[in-house]
Amino acid sequence: MLSVDGYIKSIKSNLDRQSDLLVENLKKIVTYNFSTDIDLLDFSAFIEPTRFELAIRLFSMDKDANEVFYNGTNNTVFAGSIDVLPEVAYYHLNEIQLNDFFDFYEQNEETLALQEQKAFTDWFRGCWKKAGGSSIDIPSYFVFSDDYKSYDLKNNQWVDDEDKWS
């Protein structure tokens, strides 16, 4: 029998299995020599709900919401984007259970969506801290692809994207 608590607990457990990989990749990013043209870093989560997969990609951005690229000759300068976490499973379900799961999700969508978002964000924030992410001097955000708000990793709060770009 599916339950909200059981589903969220399973997500957290599956994400915890990916923590070492995420922390290792974030530790590398902490050491980057970022281009001075970068105004903020967006760690974008891409969720594929029908396959229960999550991937995270870092985008270096300017204040006009454009991705920053570096065309200079110094190969130690970073700008652009890079995969932080390849597609990983955040929930496991066999095909026989899919219809029941999607019925369950539809009935509990409002609650589940908020709790999923919190689970993903709390997990990323914990890995960010463990990797020393706060030592990066550039404003950094965790964002769900195509969302209108971002989680400010420096101030530990949600902000509207309009505020992020201003």
Angle made by CA atoms 147, 38, 45, in degrees to the nearest 5: 30
Residue 28, phi-psi category: left (phi > 0), alpha (psi -120 to 50), beta (remainder)? alpha
**What is residue 117's predicted lDDT score, i.e. its pLDDT?**
95
Model pLDDT, residue 162: 86
Regions of the chain with pLDDT less than 70 = none
What is the rounded distance in angstroms from the CA atom of residue 15 to the CA atom of residue 155?
23
Residue 61: per-residue pLDDT: 97
